[in-house]
Structure 1
Amino acid sequence: MKLELRGITKVFGPLVANDHIDLVVEPGEIHALLGENGAGKSTLMNVLYGLYDPDGGQILLDDTPVTFPGPGDAVRAGIGMVHQHFMLVPVFTVAESVALGYEPTGLAGLLDPAAHSLGILDLASARRKVRDISERFGFHVDPDALIEELPVGVQQRVEIIKALSRDAKILILDEPTAVLTPQETDELIKIMGELKAAGTSIVFITHKLREVRAIADRITVIRRGKVVGEAGPESTETELASLMVGRSVNLAVDKTAAQPRDNGMVVSDLTVLNGATAVVDHVSFEVRGGEILAIAGVQGNGQTELAEVILGIDEAAAGSITLDGEELLGKSVRQRLRAGLGFVPEDRSTDGVVASFTIAENLVLDLYSTEEFSRGPSLNLGKIAENAEHRTTEFDVRLTNITDPISTLSGGNAQKVVLAREMSRPLRLLVASQPTRGLDVGSIEFVHKRIVAERDHGTPVVIVSTELDEVLALADRVAVMYRGRIIGIIDAAESGPGGISRDVLGLMMAGVPLDDAVAQAAGHQSVLAGADKAAEGKDLT
């Protein structure tokens, strides 16, 4: 099925989110959509999927104009969407999840109208669909498996099966690799290739330039609501990044070797419980002043709980956390912040900002009662406004007015506000969870520079990230978490040829111990080298 968008325009008040956008996706094509945060990619896809009504332009399927009053209409027309945050019910089986919302009630509903009204499912039909699609594309998904017991990569396949079970001819994948290990990402890229071979058109939204070049047939770049160019997979990552932000971008992180100091944070035998389950299981590590320790792993392996117990949101069942020899456990969140802990939470909307507060107020959430921003019981509004103007300029926060609620900002710009607040005061420790999530490449470049500068100032820095490129670029040492435990800590200086590789880290993220991961990765590289040598021999003949 051919998709064409002609002159799509979407306006929110004074903001033109989509400005006469043209886009053509050919049948059986993987078309990547690139753009910095707030460029209008998600808005465009929400228009296509029937979540927003366009203010101008046309949508055409196989050269026929169509309109979608809602997502159900888009689904019936053959458009499926896999959202970044999966829409699955943990206690449901795969078959039940696939049937949800489009329940095949079968004979039970025809013979008994009461049963139909109660939504009795024809799960046999749902199971058949799961098996048929799974076998066709090599998904290896058990229709009777519980969602909560499946790895994240398999859960994503369930979302794709849901879309394909409704005869999707065009599949929108929104940041599909955000929660996958490198190996799962490779599997997804293989699956996308198989879907393409079967005639499915794919719109692939991602900020990961490496993946775009690996899988896309064509690339459309959007900047500030407009299409600014098209590119092919032969374009370099630097060229694509420059198109996205409108200027040259340095994708490499410039940093010298760390100069660690004796002071820092020491975590000893730390355990955090969720009911009877240890979500952080006897974890020990240290991060010294002047170094960056990255906590790597697939999301959901205890990293969130580890970061939150350092801040004091969660309580530890056992263990110790000391900062410069001073015990943090037992201190309140405010005491830890006042002691010099900077904290960038994983979920900015829940833990990082107060949606109804202004942008200026959010920039002083943990400082408002200090002498700089208050006079007794009264806030110093002039100083708060002055601080906001300075910080939003420094961190390139795109806004209309600092007095607007922070809820008016895009997610990435709200993230910049959190970073500006936490990184613009003297720190003794910085803990940042997913610090560049939702940011464009230009903003990532800036944030990475600030994190390295904080390290070079002598601050111990802990980064929690699921982005392997970010981990390898920033870390002086890497600790890999799996099911609540640290299964290995490695010196990032060993990364690269002849040392710890992306493959090794990816295997560790899947639970393989360090020594076994090194052996497996070495074996894999030997196979590849043998294949390359054989190919060279054929070329010579």
Structure 2
Amino acid sequence: MANAASQHETPLRLSGVTVRFGNFTANDAVDFAVARGQIHALLGENGAGKTTLMRVVAGLLVPQEGSIAIDGVPVTFASPLDAAAKGVGMVHQHFMLVPTLTVAQNVSIGIDRAGRLFPDLKKVAREIEEIGARYGLKVDPHARVGDLSVASQQRVEIVKALYRGARILVLDEPTAVLAPQEVEGFFRVLRMLADAGTAIVFISHKLNEVMALSHQVSVLRHGRLMASMPTRDTNPTELARLMIGDDLTLPTVEGEQTPGRPVLVAAGVTFRNERGVERLRDVSMSAHAGEIVGIAGVDGNGQQELAEIFAGLIAPTSGIVSLRRGESLIDVSRTGPSSRIALGLSHIPEDRQRTALVDLSIADNAVLEQVTHSPFSNGGILAHGAIRSFSEELIRVNDVRCTGPDQRILTLSGGNQQKVVLGRALSREPSVIIAVQPTRGLDIGATAFVHEQLLAQRARGAAIVLVSTELDEILALSDRVVVMFAGSVVGEILRRDVTLDRLGAMMTGQAA
């Protein structure tokens, strides 16, 4: 009887799970268990094997060795449907949504319709609204997913899992796309679910979140389980050391630096989307050589659109964007990305899979922006040796955890994909860098590396526009902070004058 109770109290247990991709071992004999009503944090560097392990739980991968038990009963998952039938739900770091469908249509995909040919979308919409009201996850069930912000799409994924009633819930970096103001509300959701008996696996790189939320924490390094302990018995310093094998302090801007000439200038930029909705209103700002300008604001207040206008992905409805070439500022408002790349602009986009990468090898992606130029091609003929040498150096310099340049980039962890994007963007020594959420989904070691690289580019004389919902990142790296609210610039503050109270007030629309 005691054994049955124990099984009931441990709905998920992995024993000796090993996953290999060719000669690469992603998980090496990992033991892992989650108790009923427990929030169990899973930590590790990018490429440590966290997502791989949870993809086994979700039925997306079959391990070469080891076993899975649900409520003490051994199971074999041949597909995500098998896992879902046993009560497993996973919210992926990279969304599993169909952009052309509505929220309600996405939520209803694959659900038993009780003999109906089509789902009752009105009923689904009502239930989505009820879930949103209950857990503070408001989302319009009739909105087309492709029109939603990244944060809203994340909410759809969470609502979809809740709608399907998962009792073992796996969350892969769920707060990576949430603004700081949204995180505590989301934590209340998870605590409510745990109190109701849901077993939750919480994958995160944010040690403060792990300490604040979880009951138990396990750390993976290079595919091996390094430790598992009650969260109350550890601290961020110990966890960071377990993750990377050393102590680490994130770099910050030090001292005052006199910026140079303006290199990127926006004057009166207004943007209306295809539906005529005004997303930016009369935005004017500049970035000078040798400075980092942080763009702060709650997600969805126009930062993404402004970054895309700077990068040439969309054109402003009115207003002018200029880039410096020599002694002159050149109007680039109606030019595309290739023209701006030629003028020395690099872009690190928010959504690497949608905007930065293609489903090809690491080597192909490493030279994507320069493949038509020497030394990577000559007269339309690809120089494969030069491409391979460049990509091998990019992998080495940026510590990309992979099997080599020929590995398909979408098989890498999200953090290692980001390292390729960053390495490509900085390899040209750009004069302007548009960095949007550059450390999203990165572990503490990779975050420190990105910060070091951006500060090195600043010291070299590049003008950097840093868009981030991480206020700690904005405060650590910015020489000036520009705050946006409802598509407009509320004001800007020099780094020495920034306080969290003042910044928070501006982010809610109060003038500087």
Q: 1:150 to 1:337 in 2, by over 3 A?
A: closer
Task: Give 1:326 deviation, angstroms.
Answer: 2.7
Q: 1:381 to 1:256 in 2, by over 3 A?
A: farther
TM-score (normalised: structure 1): 0.81
d(CA) in 2 for partners of 1:80 and 1:352? 28
Residue 139 of structure 1 is matched in structure 2 by: 135
> Structure 1 residue 419: deviation in Å?
1.6
Choose 1 or 2 for highest CA Rg. Answer: 1
Q: Does the Cα contact within 8 Å between 2:128 and 2:141 map onto a contact in 1?
A: no
Distance (Å, rounded) in 2 between the aligned partners of 1:151 and 1:15: 36
Show the counterpart of 1:414: 417
Alpha-carbon offset, residue 172 of structure 1: 1.5
The answer to whether the 8 Å contact 1:92/1:146 transfers is no
Query: Is this contact kept in 2: 1:170–1:200, CA < 8 A?
Result: yes
Picking from 86, 90, 112, the partner of 1:81 is: 90
User: In structure 2, what is the Cα distance between the partners aligned to 1:145 and 1:329?
Assistant: 35
Would the aligned equivalents of 1:255 and 1:452 in 2 still touch at CA under 8 Å? Answer: no
Matched with 2:35 is 26
Alignment of 1:481-520 (within 5 A): 481-495=484-498, 499-501=499-501, 505=503, 508-509=506-507, 512-515=508-511
Amino acid at match of 2:83: A
1:46 aligns with 2:55: yes
Change (3 A) 1:395 1:146: same
**Aligned equivalents of 2:121, 2:323: Cα separation in 1:** 58
Unaligned runs of 5+ in 1: 106-115, 519-541
Q: In the alignment, is the contact (CA less than 8 A) between 2:176 and 2:441 conserved in 1?
A: no
8 Å contact kept, 2:179–2:299: no
Match of 1:444 among 443, 447, 462: 447
Q: 3-state DSSP class of the match of 1:118?
A: coil
Give, as a single letter, the amino acid of the residue that structure 2 aligns with 1:51. Answer: L
Give the corresponding residue for 2:66. Answer: 57
Shift of 1:163: 3.5
Displacement of 1:93: 8.1
The answer as to 2:309 corresponding to 1:304 is no
Q: Could you tell me which amino acid in structure 2 is paired with residue 462 of structure 1? A: V
Preserved CA contact (<8 Å) 1:267 1:284: yes
CA-CA distance at 1:16 after TM superposition: 1.9
User: Residue 307 and residue 59 in structure 1: after superposition, are their counterparts in 2 closer, same or farther (change >3 A)?
Assistant: same
Partner of 1:286: 286
CA contact (8 A) 1:294 1:465 kept: yes
Q: What corresponds to 2:5 in structure 1?
A: none
The answer for the alignment partner of 2:172 in structure 1 is: 174
Tell me the residue number matched to 2:238.
Answer: 239
- Kindly indicate whether residue 190 of structure 2 is the aligned counterpart of residue 192 of structure 1: yes
Pick closer, same or farther for the CA change 1:146–1:468 going to 2, 3 Å: farther
Flag the 1:119–1:337 CA change in 2: closer, same or farther, 3 A. closer
| Mapped partners of 1:410, 1:143: distance in 2 | 28
What is the aligned counterpart of 2:203 among 182, 199, 205? Answer: 205
Q: Of residues 204, 221, 224 in structure 1, which corresponds to 2:222?
A: 224
* Residue type at the aligned position of 2:31: D
Once residues 108 and 262 of structure 2 are traced to their aligned partners in structure 1, the CA distance between those partners, rounded to angstroms, is 56
Aligned to 1:522: none
Q: Once the two structures are aligned, what percentage of the paired residues are identical?
A: 43
CA distance in 2, matches of 1:421, 1:220: 33
Q: Are the structure 2 counterparts of residues 79 and 251 from structure 1 closer, same or farther at C-alpha, using a change threshold of 3 Å?
A: same
Residues 157 and 372 of structure 1, relative CA distance in 2, 3 Å threshold: closer
Partner AA of 1:420 in structure 2: G
How far apart are the structure 1 equivalents of 2:105 and 2:357?
Answer: 36
Report how far residue 402 of structure 1 moved.
2.8
Seen in structure 2, the aligned counterparts of structure 1 residues 96 and 253 have a Cα distance that, compared at 3 Å, is same
Show the 5 A alignment for 1:457-536: 457-495=460-498, 499-501=499-501, 505=503, 508-509=506-507, 512-515=508-511
2:458 is aligned, of 442, 449, 455, to: 455
TM-score, length basis structure 2 = 0.85
Shift of 1:421: 2.0
> SS state of the match for residue 269, structure 1?
strand
1:383-411: CA deviations, max 9, x gaps? Answer: 44443333321111223333455455443
Partner of 2:316: 316
Structure 2 residue identity aligned to 1:463: L
Which residue matches 2:405?
402
**Contact in 2 for aligned 1:272/1:278 (Cα 8 Å):** yes
Aligned mates of 1:434, 1:513 — CA distance in 2: 22
Alpha-carbon distance in structure 2 between the residues aligned to 1:422 and 1:141: 35
| Partner residue in 1 for 2:6 | none
How many angstroms apart in 1 are the aligned matches of 2:118 and 2:256?
Answer: 62
Is the CA contact (8 Å cut-off) linking 2:262 and 2:286 kept in structure 1? Answer: no
Change (3 A) 1:393 1:93: closer
How many residue pairs get aligned? The number is: 495
CA distance in 2, matches of 1:74, 1:404: 28
Q: Deviations over 1:326-367 (max 9, x none)?
A: 3222445333212221222233334323433x4344333334
**What is the aligned partner in structure 2 of residue 35 from structure 1?**
44
* C-alpha separation in 1, matches of 2:77 and 2:455: 47
1:347 aligns with 2:351: yes
Secondary structure of 1:204 counterpart = strand
- In 1, distance between residues paired with 2:334 and 2:127? 54
TM-aligned CA distance change 1:241 to 1:183, over 3 Å = same
Counterpart CA distance in 2 for 1:146 and 1:37 is: 36
Q: Which region of structure 1 is more displaced relative to structure 2, 247-256 or 157-166?
A: 157-166
Q: Is it true that 1:329 corresponds to 2:327 in the alignment? A: no
2:250 corresponds in structure 1 to 251
Residues 364, 384 of structure 1: 8 Å contact kept: yes
For the 8 Å contact 1:494–1:500, the answer to whether it is kept is: no
Q: Give the conservation status (yes or no) of the 8 Å contact 1:99–1:126.
A: no
Using the TM superposition, name which of 166-175 and 482-491 deviates more.
482-491
Uncovered stretches (5+) of structure 2, i.e. residues with no partner: 1-8
* Equivalent pair of 2:139/2:152 in contact (CA under 8 Å): no
Letter in 2 for 1:421: R
Separation in structure 1 between the aligned mates of residue 316 and residue 363 of structure 2, nearest angstrom: 34
Structure 1: which amino acid aligns with 2:256?
Answer: A
Q: Is the 8 A contact 2:46 2:415 kept in 1?
A: yes
